[in-house]
A and B are shown apart, each in its own frame.
Chain A
Amino acid sequence: MYKISTDHLTELFSSISHDRALYMPIEKNGQVQFDRWMEDKKVRLDALNTVKSPKDLFFPQSENIVAFKIKGKNISIIENRDESEPFVVFGVRACDAASFDILDMVFLQDPVDTYYKARRDNGIVVTLACSEPEETCFCSVFGIDATNPSGDIATWIVDDMLYWESLTEKGERFTETIKDLFESADFLDEEALKSHKEDVEKIIEKLPLHDLSLDGFNSEAMDEKFNSPKWEELSEACIGCGTCTFICPTCQCYDIRDYDTGQGIQRFRCWDSCMYSDFTRMAHGNPRTSQVERFRQRFMHKLIYFPTNNDGVYSCVGCGRCVAKCPVSMNIVKVIKAMGVDENV
């Protein structure tokens, strides 16, 4: 393990950004988002959740797929995908880091999505352990340890020291290139970090959603949960705005569309939302005509369908963004509480 004084972080960032793009939580117009670091940017490593998750570094909100030129009856195909460059994303929280594993289960499964894979291959994920988890946090429910985040490299900030530990070969190779900036952590540092983690664990244990139970959310319960009369009441307030899907680190449904650039046709893909009425609409009809059906689909997918296909892994990481951002205060926590085994939690 290495360490660097937080007073020298600018040097660290400057050195990293020398030969690759560096992204981290940056405040702009009062909102903290993952953005490209530059010396004059307002870095906010204290911010817990960025407004959007960092998923768009791997799965951008919109990206070019392929272009076409049309001449009479003839078509020519022009591969013009957005090139992916080597980059580092710094300050990813444990929940968001876990979401990358979930996105991998979708995009890296055969046939591999080469647009996503190129960015995964080019990106180095440097996580930052949480020091002050908030009341909306519930990553522990999904077995995620906010004090020991995954990623290629994990970091911890304790007082005025940042600790740096490579977790993967990729992380190690990268660390080698900048190791002159670090000092080696010693026994006392290890002790300080251990004690810091214990303090944070105590906070996590006392979080209001720490005891949320996922009992009963399994493939055997598919029919029972799907047919529950509670969806009606739970979805009543949903305005179908799709905010939850866009800020969600694990939502990955997408649309593919074409537009006329004036010089040809550009085919692109963009984030889409199962909360929208045209998501499943076909020329001959729509299998989900009401918001209750669309609302049910989103949560059934995260809590039942996805785990059924992925060894029990839920498609939620407990980041709490939907808890904080839904304009009608409906969220996955309320669904889990209402639909779970212990309905009176």
Chain B
Amino acid sequence: MCNCNHSADEALIPGLGVVTDIRVDTPDVKTFRVNALDGGVCFEHMPGQCAMLSIPGIGEAMFSITSSPTNTKYMEFSIKKCGCLTEWLHQIEVGQQITIRGPYGNAFPVDTEFKGKDLLFIAGGIGLAPLRSVINYVRHNREDYGHVDIVYGSRSKDDLVAYDEIIDEWCNEDDVDVYLTIDREEEGWDGHVGFVPDYVKELKFDTNKTAIVCGPPIMIKFTLAGLEELGFDKTQVYTTMELKMKCGIGKCGRCNIGSKYVCKDGPVFRCDELDELPDEY
């Protein structure tokens, strides 16, 4: 399964990957294409799962895998520049090797609960990264799912991640509706202007859908409230969480909330499950 020299018996020892392409998505987001040293993906994963990436000497951190598992040629990570490791990653060039271990965590239930359902994806900013894996998985297995709606917003047009793929591919797909929004009016933008949670309420979606939400904590909070106002039940809404992690295997203790470890019991939670956790995320 794994072809990146990953030590078979110890989870904490990473394998190697090589960055084969770097796409500048926004002023602070780059998407890194990563291959195993002998080509292909470093390991198999399911949409929503994560990987520990590191540049030795700089740091190691958990990132969601933004490429779909149906893409067996390479893996992709959309990474926002916001800390030591990510700043370093934003300076690397194609050909740079990195360490990688995973996959970690659970996945969105794409082969169970999501099957046959109409899906409503709601993302804010870099929150598109984990959802893009699901969206492309669903597009690849189109006949297994119902109608797809995608609501995606960012601060400005330049801050929309994966913009070209959205416009060239998602918007041209049958039975997929894409609703883009930006926070403030700007020249050259004739689309919707306003925050994601408000836009979701305006769009008045049917409640016979499964919603998948990811974005900044504040956006998630207001979007969940908006969905409830529209009549969605918490069992119909999924999100994915982010907490500090060091081991990725439920032992180092950092991502513990209540009796759950986000790295192994999450990062994907159904919103009624989140309700059972202490409010500490």
Q: Is A265 an interface residue (CB 8 A)?
A: yes
List the A residue with the shortest CB-CB distance to B255: A280
Q: Is A177 an interface residue (CB 8 A)?
A: no
Q: Is B11 an interface residue (CB 8 A)?
A: yes
Interface size classification for chain A:
35 or more
Verify B57–A279 contact, CB threshold 8 A: no
Q: Is B10 an interface residue (CB 8 A)?
A: yes
Verify B251–A252 contact, CB threshold 8 A: yes
| Chain B min CB distance to A296 (Å) | 9
CA distance A74 to B15 in the complex (A): 13
Which residues of B, 81-128, contact A by the 8 Å Cβ criterion?
82-84, 86, 92-93, 95-99
CA distance A308 to B265 in the complex (A): 14
CA distance A74 to B97 in the complex (A): 5
Determine which of A73, A106, A222, A279 lies in contact with B254 in the assembled complex, contact meaning CB atoms within 8 Å. Answer: A279
Verify B251–A107 contact, CB threshold 8 A: yes
CA distance A253 to B254 in the complex (A): 7
Q: Is A188 an interface residue (CB 8 A)?
A: no
Secondary structure call for the A interface: mixed
Given A65-B13, A66-B12, A115-B10: A280 touches B97 (CB 8 Å cut-off):
no
Binds A, one of B134-142, B162-170, B181-189, B242-250: B242-250
List the B residue with the shortest CB-CB distance to A219: B259
Binds B, one of A3-11, A255-263, A331-339: A255-263
Tell me the total A-B contact number using a CB cutoff of 8 A.
Answer: 116
| Chain B min CB distance to A181 (Å) | 38
Verify A265–B56 contact, CB threshold 8 A: yes
Binds B, one of A30-38, A39-47, A147-155, A281-289: A281-289
A binding-site residues for B, Cβ under 8 Å: 65-66, 68, 70, 73-75, 77, 79, 106-107, 109, 111, 113-115, 219, 222-223, 226, 252-256, 258-260, 265, 267, 269, 272, 274, 279-285, 287-288, 293, 297, 300-301, 304-305, 308-309
* 17 intermolecular pairs with C-beta atoms under 8 Å apart: A68-B56, A73-B93, A73-B95, A75-B99, A77-B5, A77-B16, A113-B12, A115-B10, A223-B278, A254-B252, A256-B12, A258-B59, A265-B57, A274-B253, A282-B83, A283-B82, A301-B253
Across-interface contacts of A285 in B (CB, < 8 A): 217
Given A70-B57, A254-B253, A255-B246: A293 touches B259 (CB 8 Å cut-off):
no
